[in-house]
């Protein structure tokens, strides 16, 4: 596979890096965290998004060394921002975890080791996992998530609303935040089903004592509607695209 070799080379040459997108408090616009998103700075093809390499990484198992490298990068970065006083005390970075990464036996131990090596307070890190990964085997996911939770990490359920989830299972999991999938935010007020789904997730979060983060907010009107519904946090192009670390730090410096 041409792409496998290419990806392996790209990983070895440090072409895969993280971009950071702010997660903001919708009431005051303050940056409470950031989602770390992988990007491949390809020498010929330019900036390749995850859709251009994640499937190959998963199929070939390259996601394991890649994921480990990205966790180290995110850990070092969030530790530096805290140490340099660039972020507020509770600021955290969210790291995406895919199916294959999550289901390796060594996953929680390796993640915790990487955080310790970077001297990162586990409270500065959230893992983003989809409902699909959890529901793949809820019984086996629970001890893994509980272990991470006990170590102090936060758990965000990504793309919420697109998968299956039994309310009962969600209730049993140590979930800290639900991330409303951007497809629903995009259709807010444009179709009734999406609007009601967003409202339902926000209400559910409240009832379960879980934060709700709306993804893909592009307009001030969407942000306003989400606030009206009681949604507390959001991310999207309205504030910023995923940015290289230095640009993200510059954005923080410009905060009121
Ligand atoms: O940035 P973009 O919208 O293209 O990301 C698409 C998807 O790629 C995200 O929803 C996320 O699930 C996945 N992704 C991005 N970065 C990472 C990463 O570092 N690790 C894993 N496993 N998935 C990622
Ligand atoms: O799958 P996951 O939700 O983790 O990935 C989020 C993806 O959404 C990222 O790839 C990011 O680049 C993208 N994204 C972030 N903000 C916006 C936005 O406001 N609009 C759109 N269309 N995409 C966004
Ligand atoms: Na994500
Ligand atoms: Mn998401």
pLDDT in tens, 107-154: 999 999 999 999 999 999 999 999 888 888 889 999 999 999 999 999
Give the atom of ligand 2 at the shortest distance from the alpha carbon of 218.
Answer: 19
The pLDDT score that the predictor gives to residue 183 is 96
The pair phi, psi for residue 65, each rounded to 5°, is -65, -35
Please list the pLDDT of the chain residue by residue as tens digits (256 residues): 568 999 999 999 999 999 999 999 999 999 999 999 999 999 999 999 999 999 999 999 999 999 999 999 999 999 999 999 999 999 999 999 999 999 998 999 999 999 999 999 999 999 999 988 888 888 999 999 999 999 999 999 999 988 877 777 788 899 999 999 999 999 999 999 999 999 999 999 999 999 999 999 999 999 999 999 999 999 999 999 999 999 999 999 987 6
CB 215 within 8 Å of CB 182: yes
CB 61 within 8 Å of CB 100: yes
Q: For the whole prediction, is pTM greater than 0.90?
A: yes
Q: Give dist(CA 164, CA 141) in Å, integer.
A: 15
The three-state (H, E, C) secondary structure of 71-88, written as one string: HHHHHHHHHHHHHCCCCC
Q: Is 96 near ligand 1, meaning CB less than 6 Å away? A: yes
Burial of 156 (0-12, 13-18, 19+ CB in 10 A): buried
How many Å lie between the centroid of ligand 1 and the Cα of residue 75? 17
Q: Is 47 near ligand 1, meaning CB less than 6 Å away? A: no
Q: Is 157 near ligand 1, meaning CB less than 6 Å away? A: no
Q: What is the ipTM of this complex?
A: 0.95
Tokens of 64: 């394991």
Give the atom of ligand 1 at the shortest distance from the alpha carbon of 38.
Answer: 16
How many Cβ atoms are within 10 Å of 150's Cβ, its own excluded?
11
Which residues share a beta bridge with 37?
A: 19
The pLDDT score that the predictor gives to residue 55 is 95
CB 114 within 8 Å of CB 52: no
């Amino acid at each position: 596979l041409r792409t496998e070799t290419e990806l392996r080379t790209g990983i070895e040459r440090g072409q895969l890096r993280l971009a950071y997108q702010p997660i903001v408090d919708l009431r005051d616009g303050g940056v409470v965290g950031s989602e770390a998103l992988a990007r491949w700075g390809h020498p010929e093809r330019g900036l390749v998004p995850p859709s251009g390499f994640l499937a190959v990484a998963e199929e070939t198992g390259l996601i394991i060394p890649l994921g480990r490298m990205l966790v180290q990068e995110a850990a070092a970065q969030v530790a530096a921002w805290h140490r340099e006083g660039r972020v507020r005390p509770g600021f955290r970075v969210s790291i995406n975890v895919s199916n294959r990464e999550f289901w390796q036996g060594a996953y929680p131990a390796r993640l915790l080791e990487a955080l310790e090596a970077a001297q990162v307070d586990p409270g500065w890190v959230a893992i983003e996992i989809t409902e699909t990964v959890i529901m793949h085997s809820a019984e086996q996911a629970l001890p893994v998530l509980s272990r991470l939770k006990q170590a102090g990490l936060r758990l965000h359920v990504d793309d919420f609303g697109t998968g299956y989830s039994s309310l009962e299972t969600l209730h049993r999991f140590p979930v800290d935040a639900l991330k409303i999938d951007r497809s629903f935010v995009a259709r807010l007020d444009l179709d009734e089903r999406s609007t009601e789904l967003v409202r339902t997730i926000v209400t559910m979060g409240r009832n379960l004592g879980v934060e709700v983060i709306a993804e893909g907010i592009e307009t001030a009107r969407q942000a306003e509607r989400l606030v009206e519904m009681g949604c507390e946090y959001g991310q999207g192009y309205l504030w910023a695209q995923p940015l290289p670390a230095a640009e993200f730090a510059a954005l923080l410096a410009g905060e009121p």
